Amino acid sequence: MISCYAVAMIYDVIVIGSGYAGLAAAIEARQAGASVIVLEKMRAAGGNSIISDGGMAVAGSALQRRHGIEDSAELFYRDMMKAGLGLNYPELVKIVTGHSQEAYSWLTEELGVEFMDRVDLFGGHSVARSHGAVRITGASIIKPMLKRLEELEIPIHYGWHVTGLLFDHQRVTGVEAESGYSFKTKRGDQRQVIHARNGVILAGGGFGADVRFRAAHDPRLNRDIDTTNKVCATSELLVEAMKKGASAIQLSHIQLGPWASPDEKGFGSGPLFADYIGLIYGILVAPDTGSRFINEHSDRKVLSDAILATGAPCICISDDAAVKQSGWDIGRALQKEVVRTFDDLPSLAEFYHVPADSLSSTVDRFNTSISDHDSSLYGRSIMADSLPIQSPPYYAMRVWPKVHYTMGGLQIDSKARVISLDQEPMEGLYAAGEMTGGIHGACRLGSCAVTNCIVFGRIAGAQAAGGGN
Ligand SMILES: Cc1cc2nc3c(=O)[nH]c(=O)nc-3n(C[C@H](O)[C@H](O)[C@H](O)COP(=O)(O)OP(=O)(O)OC[C@H]3O[C@@H](n4cnc5c(N)ncnc54)[C@H](O)[C@@H]3O)c2cc1C
């Protein structure tokens, strides 16, 4: 039973959520002189951020130049707008792409986050610009952020589930929460009220794990479709903001990860092979035809739609030379038998019930396109380090899309202020990260979420500390 006793507390800024966006906002607000508290419904920090790969899209970095990659904020902007089918809010995309380097420097130079000495290409980006945090995990970013919170003496209350936003006339004045919240019972044990002098920042993440809410916006995404998200990725905070008059936009734009495996639960170990190696150097074939059907470098929406349209999990195939060249260790995926190796193509074809002759001609045609530098086959560009598929063992994985990211969310302006249904900024209310909509339009490009969270989290923190609006 929930006790009604509540000790009212007061802070300048309340941040809800302890992922990339919430922690960036909290640090920035505190450094601007505000007293700050972070509320997190889970018993530990990090949300989806801590289980992410920690890949951050940055344009024009010194690391890219060292690897001979030419890039610019303008090219990054064009790539995001193209993948988003022009549905992205241009002024917000300009802010993300124009501040990617600054956000990267903030993480590396001010917080000591370490990135690997490599830059990866993901589908839909014109050039390699994904800067991967060490050990390919968001924990390598979240931990230094948490350390800074400790140094700044910013309290985080875990197990505090925010259930309500409090308003005085038009202005947000605080939040209601249940402390001692258990995700199992979906209940807390005590009601709490916290007042905010300056602002409340909503950084509660996306709703990829909220089957009812996501299926209401895209009926295809019912319980049968798995998700890469943690259980915390639900819609209640978004709905509470909507009830209080916030404008929520593009909620039906829900991204599926085309590189996920139906042979394991959740995100798992397969994407490291399919996303970083198979789709970049290898090919994707339909099991019934043994043929390619899509440019494997396409963005996530194009790929997921094409895979779903085949009606059955497709096979992503690469070879030993590509795996070695990539430098990635896919041992875990092999151990779990999510990725399998084969001595020759006929045995691969037999295992996955793919017509062997057809697969063999598909691979031959692909290899000829590489040697001829011919990008006319499905429009796939031939990269300087493209390789033919000819060095056994061959590596293969079944792929079937899973819900990965929700592009829709709260409408914000360039100052991270939440916009009302009347299209006016709501006083004192800010939002950042996956909780917001409109930045990625119809399709988010890989690695752009980290950039978005850090850029807009910092903006929200600075604005809320200053009293904003
Ligand atoms: C497996 C995986 C891998 C990914 N890899 C990458 C990658 O390499 N690069 C990239 O750019 N993107 C990646 N993404 C996407 C990216 O990680 C997320 O979009 C990003 O982490 C979202 O950050 P956030 O701060 O907005 O939300 P989150 O990190 O999800 O944090 C939100 C927090 O708010 C809390 N919360 C929610 N509601 C309440 C409430 N009512 N009361 C209190 N607390 C609440 C949640 O419990 C959660 O901890 C990946 C996603 C997944 C799932």
pLDDT digits 0-9 by tens, 142-192: 999 999 999 999 999 999 999 999 999 999 999 999 999 998 888 999 999
Q: Are 316 and 259 in contact (CB under 8 A)?
A: yes
Identify the pLDDT of residue 381: 84
Distance CA 146, CA 156 (A): 9
Q: Which domains does the chain have, with CATH numbers?
A: 1-256+406-469 (3.50.50.60), 259-400 (3.90.700.10)
Residue nearest to atom 27 of ligand 1 (CA): 205
List Cβ neighbours of 34 (8 Å cut-off, separation of 6 or more): 11, 12, 13, 198, 464, 465
Identify the pLDDT of residue 1: 52
What's the mean per-residue pLDDT of the chain? Answer: 96
Residue 403 Cβ < 6 Å to ligand 1: no
Identify the pLDDT of residue 468: 59
What is the DSSP-derived secondary structure letter of residue 337?
Answer: T
Q: What is the pTM of this model?
A: 0.95
End-to-end CA distance of the chain: 39
Distance 50 CA to ligand 1 centre (A): 8
Distance CA 301, CA 330 (A): 25
Identify the pLDDT of residue 123: 87
Burial 47-68 (b: 16+ CB within 10 A, else e): bbbbbbbbbbbbbbbebbeeee
Q: Which helix (H) or strand (E) holds 456?
A: helix 448-465
pLDDT digits 0-9 by tens, 16-69: 999 999 999 999 999 999 999 999 999 999 999 999 999 999 999 999 999 999
pLDDT digits 0-9 by tens, 408-457: 999 999 999 999 999 999 999 999 999 999 999 999 999 999 999 999 99
**Amino acid sitting at position 210:** D
- Of the chain, the percentage scoring pLDDT greater than 70 comes to 98
Q: Which of 18, 27, 48, 113 to mutate to test the pocket of ligand 1 (most atoms within 8 A of CB)?
A: 48
Identify the pLDDT of residue 376: 87
Q: Name the token pair of 466.
A: 């200053």
Distance 206 CA to ligand 1 centre (A): 7
From the alpha carbon of 54, which atom of ligand 1 is closest? 8
Does the pLDDT value for residue 264 go beyond 80? yes
Burial 303-332 (b: 16+ CB within 10 A, else e): bbebbbebeebbbbbbbeebbeebebebee
Residue nearest to atom 48 of ligand 1 (CA): 47
Identify the pLDDT of residue 166: 98
Identify the pLDDT of residue 2: 56
Does the pLDDT value for residue 469 go beyond 80? no
| Number of helical H runs and strand E runs in the chain | 16, 19
Q: Name the token pair of 378.
A: 């499905």
Distance 395 CA to ligand 1 centre (A): 31
pLDDT digits 0-9 by tens, 371-382: 999 988 888 988
| Environment class of 236 (CB within 10 Å of its CB; exposed 0-12, middle 13-18, buried 19+) | middle
Does the pLDDT value for residue 6 go beyond 60? no
Residue 435 Cβ < 6 Å to ligand 1: yes
- Of the chain, the percentage scoring pLDDT greater than 90 comes to 93
Identify the pLDDT of residue 7: 60
Q: Are 294 and 303 in contact (CB under 8 A)?
A: yes
pLDDT digits 0-9 by tens, 312-343: 999 999 999 999 999 999 999 999 999 999 99
Residue 433 Cβ < 6 Å to ligand 1: yes
Residue whose C-alpha is closest to residue 15's, from 239, 205, 242? 205
Identify the pLDDT of residue 184: 85
Does the pLDDT value for residue 287 go beyond 80? yes
Residue 20 Cβ < 6 Å to ligand 1: yes
Check if 148 is active-site: no
